[in-house]
Structure 1
């Protein structure tokens, strides 16, 4: 089995933070910037140039819509060398423009290799976060691209589980089919009736803590057996995809 988060995702993205502030709906403009590949590979200077040229007017434009004295936090790995530099540099930009604080203590402790993954692979390999949360403080989550919203949901879960308040989300690209991150309650009700226990048992996610795109994806399955079979196939696909890149999943990949 691939490494996956073992803790329960019990808190969803709050309604008040469900509409991310975003610059693009597709990643085309981001990827065609001449600094993108270097920034994605971990070059902080390239990330700075990319954000200055693409995102600075966008960030200045939303300045009055962000809470004061917020803590800005981006998902980044404990061992960040060679990893995507854009989210953390974007968080630094936000702190500089909006004030507040920058958090460097909350880190992703599992590697999930989501680049190129399909929706079931993303659900099967959840990231997990550790780090001190300031109770009752307002947090703004920051990332470069969101698709299913799962990584942001896991970060939001960690913050809320430890007493923090997720007040807003900023992304460069909101690439999900559904742009709102919180799920429709009608869809969640259908999932709970159709699969009373399976979603928690298979994914360690409470139905109410699913994102809108995760819930919409799962409602497309007719039976629990269909979900189980697709998850098994996704596990095989994860191993095959990563082996082709020279990555062999072991317990050590789990942080």
Structure 2
């Protein structure tokens, strides 16, 4: 399934924006709104509008509850988008507060520490997922999986910024999966579910490309062990 994904940052580092850290770390909603106003393009708003046209989607955000985090950016973007589109903002699905992934961009750490979610999904309803940034797509993919496993339908995903500043392919493409199945003489396809807990088919395209850059099974084991034993 190829879920459309939209990024908005236009190729510059969002962390360099003066409003980013107040929004991300200080729960400054005005700063978060300023980022949304500046970064989200009309082109992407039109694309999302077309995705949701005639379906009345719910905007879902992969974030913990407000009292558990200082981060106002993701949830403010969700509210901002819902207001712009006259859509509903989800208030029933939340990310379980476990290990903080927000400021750790290490690929092994993010693969090992996938987010989990809880709360009620409205069966049969369409959803648009909104987040602040995309590193390897695991947070978005995990929320998509949670919503669809519980009867919802994800129409698309959107974030304020990605590392490349461009739209990102989230779902694993066939050629990447084929290369993963033969990596290290076929060792990866058996080792991955044993070590991570789910099948290789469920990784994102960025995660798949990251794994393919690992030269050997020993390197995979070292990366996984280091992520588990290296702290949060």
Asked if Structure 1 and Structure 2 have the same fold, meaning a TM-score greater than 0.5 normalized by the shorter chain, the answer is yes
Asked if structure 1 preserves the Cα contact closer than 8 Å seen for 2:7 and 2:167, the reply is no
Matched, 1:91 2:84: no
Change (3 A) 1:187 1:59: closer
Aligned to 2:29: 44
Measured in 2, the distance between the counterparts of 1:107 and 1:64 equals 24
* Aligned residues between the structures: 223
SS at match of 1:229: helix
Larger RCO (CA under 8 A, 6+ residues apart): 1
* Structure 1 unaligned blocks of 5 or more: 1-13, 243-255
Within the candidate set 2, 5, 8, 1:23 is matched to 8
Within the candidate set 189, 192, 211, 2:178 is matched to 189
CA deviation after TM superposition for structure 1 residue 192, in Å = 3.0
Measured in 1, the distance between the counterparts of 2:198 and 2:67 equals 26
Measured in 1, the distance between the counterparts of 2:18 and 2:161 equals 17
Change (3 A) 1:123 1:221: same
Aligned to 2:112: 124
CA RMSD of aligned residues (A): 2.3
Aligned to 1:180: 169
* TM-score, length basis structure 2: 0.86
Asked if structure 1 preserves the Cα contact closer than 8 Å seen for 2:5 and 2:167, the reply is no
SS at match of 1:93: helix
Aligned to 2:209: 216
Asked if structure 1 preserves the Cα contact closer than 8 Å seen for 2:92 and 2:119, the reply is yes
Measured in 2, the distance between the counterparts of 1:25 and 1:149 equals 18
* Structure 2 unaligned blocks of 5 or more: none
Measured in 1, the distance between the counterparts of 2:117 and 2:6 equals 23
Change (3 A) 1:172 1:58: farther
SS at match of 1:76: coil
CA deviation after TM superposition for structure 1 residue 80, in Å = 4.1
* TM-score, length basis structure 1: 0.78
Aligned to 1:204: 197
Measured in 2, the distance between the counterparts of 1:66 and 1:80 equals 32
